[in-house]
Structure 1
């Protein structure tokens, strides 16, 4: 399946919330759950459980879809089945954690012995539930993760007067919020993780576009997104933070140093 097609569906699904019978509170309207569950019967049961609580959801049927949903979307919690088709789900979770995606993840697994649980926790899983289990049990685990999330603080990094909320995926400059596209935020996040170091076009193709084989052909696309990002971050500012390394790539650093 083409990445563009997946991303388009992610965007379309991400705008909708389930319509429950009862009136939802403002806090509930901002809560979405990602369901990465290949079992249609279990997925339908969980969707009904979420709907009864007035919560929104998106559905991922492969680990690649789950990766894109979590990397570019905003979710309160994710439920991923260990048997979801595609790349091994623990490998996907490990990559997401390296990219500072902090969404709490509940893993549903048939073989949830102690060794498997330890490995899952080391990869970045927050909770593991043994299959088979009841929808009520799953719902209780999800609620526990939601409570844990509501009590946590955002991970905010700062460069000069630029503040980047990695968990909330929000950006501020001199206290003013800046609206970024998912690609622009992905670029900025990767540059932040490599602050002060030159980042090549190839690295951005690999880490943001996930298309290393097209590093040369998409370099112009990278430049276009970067130009838009620089305008939003640096235009009209006395201190420039995003710099072009001619013929190589870009770097995030303060030019006041």
Structure 2
């Protein structure tokens, strides 16, 4: 009976995936997690991280930036393309701004240099969980693109992007139909509200779309807005 209660109590704790190859560092992190009431599972390689986050249920993941196996950022990128939204705190050496930006663009939610104080790590982890649990339903995100539908504000990699009302209307429509091809006719009807001009308005749509793509995707390694030749457009995660 006592063992059953202990198992049940463990299962009810917030589950964290920990991937840290240094046994001493891992032990310190585990002690901190236990002290703060978290439960954890271990992964030894980036491949194990991939499998655990694909098929397990974790509130967050703490990943060393140099795990054995595939590059960790590649694994994170693939997970995000699969719409795995588990918050990821990346642990690694002090990085320059470009390295940090690349990590954020690949899908990391936060970065903490090593060595770091265990208390700061748990504080960062709690902040990630708090942000995730409090995210309002009117905020939509794809990769590092975040759109506040209520305030009509758009951010990419944390930087705000100014859109015209028409550009925001197109982006909102594509976002609500994420992954689906949207025709010129649909945009003419639902964004321009001119279904009778569906055939003649396509050039106007293209001009606005080109401007929107430049603002959202220009200079980004991951493109989100794609043309479906002869049909329309699609917003989807990744460069497929």
TM-score class normalised by the smaller sequence: 0.5 to 0.7
Q: Counterparts of 1:197-208 in structure 2 under 5 Å?
A: none
- What CA RMSD, in Å, does the superposition of the two structures yield over aligned residues? 2.9
Cα distance in 2 for residues equivalent to 1:44 and 1:31:
18
- Cα deviation 1:156-201 (Å, max 9, x = unaligned): xxxxxxxxxxxxxxxxxxxxxxxxxxxxxxxxxxxxx8779xxxxx
Give unmatched runs, 5+ long, in structure 1: 1-18, 156-192, 197-257
Superposed CA offset, 1:178-232 (max 9, x none): xxxxxxxxxxxxxxx8779xxxxxxxxxxxxxxxxxxxxxxxxxxxxxxxxxxxx
Distance 1:195 1:54 in 2: 42
User: What does residue 102 of structure 1 align with?
Assistant: 85
For the pair 1:117 / 2:100, whether they are aligned, the reply is: yes
Secondary structure of 2:83 counterpart: coil
Taking the TM superposition and a 5 Å limit, the aligned residue runs for 1:68-87 are 68-87=51-70
The alpha-carbon deviation at position 38 of structure 1 amounts to 0.6
CA offset at residue 151 of structure 1? 0.8
Q: Say whether the 8 Å CA contact 2:46–2:75 is kept in structure 1.
A: yes
The offset of 1:141, in angstroms, is 0.8
Q: What TM-score do you get using the length of structure 1 for normalisation? A: 0.49
3-state DSSP of counterpart to 1:100 = coil
In 2 relative to 1, CA 59–67 (structure 1 residues): closer, same or farther, beyond 3 Å?
same
Indicate how the Cα distance of structure 1 residues 115 and 153 shifts in structure 2: closer, same or farther if over 3 A, else same. Answer: same
Q: Looking at CA atoms only, which structure, 1 or 2, has the larger radius of gyration? A: 2
2:135 and 2:75 mapped to 1: Cα distance? 23
Q: What residue in structure 1 maps to residue 34 of structure 2?
A: 51
CA distance in 2, matches of 1:195, 1:92: 25
Return the offset for 1:131: 1.1
Which runs of 5 or more structure 2 residues have no equivalent in the other structure? 1-5, 139-177, 182-240
Provide the C-alpha distance between the structure 2 equivalents of 1:106 and 1:34, rounded to a whole number of angstroms: 10
Runs in 1 of length 4+ with deviation above 4 angstroms? Answer: 193-196
Alignment of 1:10-25 (within 5 A): none
TM-score with structure 2 setting the length: 0.52
